[in-house]
Amino acid sequence: MIKLSKEFDLKKIEVGNAVKVNCKRLGFEIDCIVVVATEKELNLAYYDKERGCMEYQALTVEDIKDNDYEVKNLN
């Protein structure tokens, strides 16, 4: 699991990395690819089987700090 204080560690999370996102509050888990990574935000892409298309999710450092989401690097 990726633990954060004030910003994302771009040495561990890079564009093209596969990550598993677990949303505790909403109760879902998805495997994503990092498409944009900055110190304050990750933009993730994943395939939504129900909709049959690619979806995008932005995660901020605040989302992680508030324990709404857990991000695990799969690489």
CATH classification of the domain holding 38: 2.30.30.100
**Within a domain: residue 35?**
yes
For residue 57, the enclosing domain spans 18-73
Domain count, the chain: 1
Residue 61 phi, psi (nearest 5):
-60, -35
pTM of the model: 0.82
Who has greater pLDDT, 24 or 33? 33
User: What's the pLDDT at 62?
Assistant: 87
Inter-residue contact 54 to 42 (CB < 8 Å): no
CA atoms within 13 A on the CB side of 21: 25
User: What's the pLDDT at 1?
Assistant: 55
Q: What percent of the chain has pLDDT over 70?
A: 93
